[in-house]
Structure 1
Amino acid sequence: MKIAYITAGAAGMFCGSCLNDNTLVTALCALGHDALLIPTYTPIRTDEMSQSLDRVFFGGINVYLQQKSRFFRWTPSFFDRLLDAPFLLRWVSRFASSTKAEDLGDLTISMLKGKHGYQVKEALKLAAWLKKEIKPDVIHLTNALLSGMADILSNEVGTPVVCSLQGDDIFLNALPEHFRTKAIDLISTNSSLVNRYVASSYFYADSMASYLKIPREKIGVIQPGINIKYHLAGSNAQKAGNVLGYFARICPEKGFHNLVNAWIALRLKNQNLKVKFKASGWLGESNKQYYLEQYNKIKDANLLEDFEHCESPDLQSKIRFFDGIDLLCVPTEYLEPKGLYVLEAWAQNVPVLQPNHASFPELLNKAGGGGWLYAPGNQQELIEKLEFAFSSSLLLKQQALLGHNAVIDYFNSSRMAEETLSFYHRMLSGDKV
């Protein structure tokens, strides 16, 4: 089967959706299928071997200029290709990563309008290339914000369109209200042009069906998986027994401040535990002041000696990070659709402590353990669960083993790819999701 994955680059950032897309395409290719990851806006950044095309469609510079000026909506293809050069887009990405969603309202609406938007030329170029060079059996858009192109791609290429639901809401919620309402209405309208949707948890499928006004019966659920071969080498590392870890984008919605506050409170409450704290993950320019505020809390508590911040790591340093922690906690306020960091922790024998919301209960229920859940927003319970977890190295090891076995047996990329193929075959045969 030939599958074209259209994904949105994240302006040079590590992005969970991009990582998941790359992992899935890798696994599909390993099963003998012809899957290709096609970036839009900017080149994607992954910490594993990239499967993406060395060409960018809907290049961020062209898309922006077409939004701002009628002139650029009619420029010839050779000129557009110059502005779509990956090296140029990577350079521009260094400045674009600080762009806020609230500044992209007009562009978001135009993209969702598809053939009636200012970027219609870009959609037609992509469709022509797919039809001539790839001839896919399935076109898979990796977020609903790309759904404006579904009509053009379906009609021009003659191929059904699938769309992933993964994190669209966090971007939409950051838009000013009038843009958000219009964008949701357009996504809902575009749902008639999309053959099927896929979400990574039942929670998220239900939530996004309501939020985006998409028929729930069009949404299938395929739980995430990771490429375990990268993590297994580090899964036998000796653990110190007293290191708390945070591995996610360092930002308010991922709840980094919640863990800082809980760790400080735990150290003040029980000085015998001597729990240390290591944090890593993407730290964008727009969140550096936020991080500094959390750092100063730790400094004021005289705990800097027991805190370590690691720069956003490559694959090997990520593996070393998980080798060096005993419990992962990412106390999100955002309702996480996937939680890939939970699977990565499990792969390296690290249990987790997560809020009892979004995808986390589904992950732990499927694993039969792998850590603990606490009531979302209940800081006192978070502190108590941290104290409980670190009170016994045996408890940590028992839960780590349950999570580790779940990744080996189920939460792996091969199973995810096989379920995705089955999902495509059901769609192509007209069966329900």
Structure 2
Amino acid sequence: MRILHLTPGTGNFHCGSCLRDHALIKALRVRGHDALMAPLYLPLVTDREFGAQELPVQIGGISLFLQQKFTWFHKLPKFVHTWINKPDRLRLASRRMGMTSPRVLGEMALGALLGTEGRQWGEWHKLLDWIRNHGKFDVVSLSNSLLTGLAPAIEKELGLPVVCSLQGEDSFLDTLPEPYRTQCWEAMQRNARSIRRFIAPSQFYASHMRERLNAAEGQIKVMPNGIDTTAFTTSSPDPNWPTIGYFARMIHGKGLTTLVDAYIDLAKRGSVPRVKLRIGGAKTPIDEKYVAELQRKIKAAGLEKRVEWLPNVSFKDKVHFFHDLTVFSVPATYGEAFGLYVIEAVSSGVPVVQPDHGAFPELIAATEGGMLCKPDDAKALADALEALLNDGELREKFSRNGINKVRQEFSATRMAERFEAILQEAAAPEQALH
């Protein structure tokens, strides 16, 4: 099949959605599909070089912002748009994302979701022209539901089936101020009528979004995310320095505050001598104040020499990060749609402790690579980490089970097989919702 996958770039930091999309497209190509990934908004940031088939940003975030403000912007000469959307300029703009007000974020999100009725359509329509002139595709895949404003036009003007992945968009939309929050959800429900299949990474998120989108029976399919399991080495931590790991964006929502508090509690107990904490993952300029506050808390507890911060590391360094861990936890405060970091840790043979909500119970049951604890409770997390760190046999069991299960069910190859089946079903003429 000839597949076009549209995915937003972040410009300057790794995100789980980008890494999942990268692994998916690579695995689809291995399976013989002509799969193209077209970045939107900002350049992609992936674990490794993507290869010769990577495409430039098709619709730049700066252009969309200006189009939202000035409806005539798309009529300016092409050289103006080329200059504005140079990769380095887009990356520079991405560093200022955190300065965008909630109202502007709401305007931009709604503008994209309104599709042909929105102020941004003058720019978005160029993407349809590009798709039309880039050869015949069998299906268009949207990386997340914030792009569904494109679906009605792709279906009507290009006659192509559209599938859409669901990757935790609700956590963004529900933070928007009114009236944008309600209007965005209403627009997404309208757009859903033009989506042949939604693809959720967990049963939890499929059930959650089925109601939020008012989806038709059978419209949402479940496809767990996958990774290149061959890229991760088996952990071999120093037994003299038991180490707890965290690898996700350095924000409160991912539970970093809970983990730091649990670590301080655990260290003060003295039941796990010399226990260390390694914190890695994306850190953007808007996260620096939050991280500094946590660092002050750790210093006040006299533990700063036992806590290591590794922001924005390369793929090679990330593999090494997991290699040195004894246990792992990202105790997110909200119901995660999936949690790719859990699969990366388990694939590395690192036992995990996760909160008992969202997709985590499914992941723990499927991988047999860890345990659950009470959500948003630093003491409960400290208790679970303490128990696991002091039970070598249990850690070995979780490690052995987890590696085997991830290789069987959460590889990029397995993800591509499932995705291929969904695409074939969605592309069948009788599957049209109209």
* Residue in structure 1 matched with residue 279 of structure 2 by the alignment: 279
The equivalent residue for 1:9 is 9
Structure 1 residue 77, shift from structure 2 partner: 3.8
Q: Residue 300 of structure 1: CA displacement?
A: 0.8
CA RMSD of aligned residues (A): 1.9
Q: How far did residue 266 of structure 1 move?
A: 0.9
Aligned residue in 1 for 2:388: 389
Q: Which residue of 2 aligns with 1:230?
A: 231
Q: Corresponding residue for 1:197?
A: 198
The 2-side partners of 1:260 and 1:423 are apart by 41
What is the total number of aligned residue pairs between the two structures? Answer: 430
The code of the aligned residue for 1:67 comes to Q
TM-superposed CA distance for 1:271, in Å, is 4.4
Deviation at 1:238, TM superposition (A): 4.7
Q: Which residue number corresponds to residue 295 of structure 2?
A: 295
Does the C-alpha gap of structure 1 residues 392 and 165 become closer, same or farther in structure 2, counting only changes over 3 Å? same
CA-to-aligned-CA distance 1:192-236 (integer Å, 9 cap, x gap)? 1111111100100111122333335311000111011211xx215
- Displacement of 1:74 in angstroms is 2.3
1:358 is aligned to 358
CA drift at 1:282: 0.8
Per the alignment, residue 304 of structure 2 pairs with 304
User: Any residues of structure 2 matched to 1:14-53 within 5 Å, and which?
Assistant: 14-50=14-50, 53=54
Q: Is the 8 A contact 1:59 1:84 kept in 2?
A: yes
Q: 1:159: how far off?
A: 0.8
Distance 2:271 2:392 in 1: 17
Q: Which residue of 2 aligns with 1:150?
A: 151
Whole-angstrom CA distance in 1 between matches of 2:215 and 2:115: 18
> Counterpart in 2 of 1:416?
415
Q: Aligned partners of 2:432 and 2:401: how far apart in 1? A: 33
2: CA distance between counterparts of 1:15 and 1:336? 14
Partners of 1:244 and 1:274 lie apart in 2 by 11
* CA distance 1:272–1:67, shift in 2 (3 Å): closer
Is the CA contact (8 Å cut-off) linking 1:327 and 1:352 kept in structure 2? yes
Which residue matches 1:91? 92
Alignment check: 8 A CA contact 2:201 2:338 kept: yes
| Range that drifts further, 96-105 or 173-182 | 96-105
- CA distance in structure 2 between the partners assigned to 1:100 and 1:37 by the alignment: 30
Summarize the Cα distance change of 1:68–1:205 in structure 2 as closer, same or farther, 3 Å threshold: same
What residue in structure 2 maps to residue 175 of structure 1? 176
SS at match of 2:333: coil
1:217-256 aligned at under 5 Å gives the runs 217-231=218-232, 234-235=233-234, 237-240=236-239, 242-256=242-256
Q: What's the CA shift string for 1:371-390, capped at 9, x where partnerless?
A: 11112123332121111001
CA contact (8 A) 1:123 1:152 kept: no
- For 1:115, the equivalent position in structure 2 comes to 116
Tell me how far apart the structure 1 counterparts of residues 169 and 355 of structure 2 sit (CA, whole Å): 21
**In the aligned structure 2, how far is the partner of 1:274 from the partner of 1:102?**
47
Task: Provide the secondary structure at the position in 2 that maps to 1:305.
Answer: helix
Bigger Cα displacement from structure 2, 92-101 vs 114-123: 92-101
Q: Is the contact made by 1:343 and 1:407 (CA closer than 8 Å) also made in structure 2?
A: yes
Identity rate, percent: 35
Q: Which residue of 2 aligns with 1:370?
A: 369
- Counterpart of 1:184? 185
Partner deviation per Cα, 1:117-151 (whole Å, 9 max, x = no partner): 12212232111221221321010111111111111
Aligned AA for 1:69?
F
Tell me the secondary structure at the aligned position of residue 206 of structure 1: helix
How big is each residue's C-alpha offset from its partner over 1:260-307, in whole Å with a ceiling of 9 and x where there is no partner?
Answer: 000111111234533111111111121211111111111111111211
Q: Structure 1 242/426 Cα, relative in aligned 2: closer, same or farther at 3 Å?
A: same
- State the secondary structure of the residue aligned to 1:308: strand
Q: Is the 8 A contact 1:161 1:196 kept in 2?
A: yes
Question: Which residue identity lines up with residue 379 of structure 2 in the other structure?
Answer: Q
**Are the aligned partners of 2:235 and 2:322 in contact in 1 as well (CA < 8 Å)?**
no
Aligned AA (2:424): H
Instruction: Answer whether contact 1:280 1:309 (CA < 8 A) is retained.
Output: yes
**1:25–1:19 Cα change, 3 Å:** same
> Which residue does the alignment assign to 2:406?
407
CA distance in 2, matches of 1:106, 1:197: 25
**Residues 156 and 81 of structure 1: CA distance in aligned 2, closer, same or farther (over 3 Å):** farther
Q: CA deviation at 1:157?
A: 2.1
Q: Could you tell me how far apart the structure 1 residues matched to 2:432 and 2:318 are?
A: 39
Corresponding letter in the other structure for 1:373: L
The superposition leaves residues 86-111 of structure 1 with CA deviations (integer Å, 9 ceiling, x where unpaired) of 23212322333553555311121111
Q: Is the 8 A contact 2:197 2:422 kept in 1?
A: no
Unaligned runs of 5+ in 2: none
Structure 2 counterpart of 1:127, one-letter code: L
CA contact (8 A) 1:55 1:85 kept: no
Cα gap change, 1:45/1:356 in structure 2, threshold over 3 Å: closer, same or farther?
same
Q: Identify which range, 153-162 or 253-262, moves more after superposition.
A: 153-162
Q: Is the 8 A contact 2:246 2:328 kept in 1?
A: yes
Change (3 A) 1:195 1:432: closer
Asked if the contact 2:60–2:90 (Cα under 8 Å) also holds between the matched residues in 1, the reply is: yes
1:340-351 to 2 correspondences below 5 Å: 340-351=340-351
CA distance in 2, matches of 1:50, 1:66: 30
Secondary structure, aligned partner of 2:95: helix
Structure 2 vs 1, CA of residues 4 and 91 (structure 1 numbering), >3 Å: closer, same or farther?
same
Question: 1:358-412: CA deviations, max 9, x gaps?
Answer: 1111111112x10111121233321211110011222212211111111221210
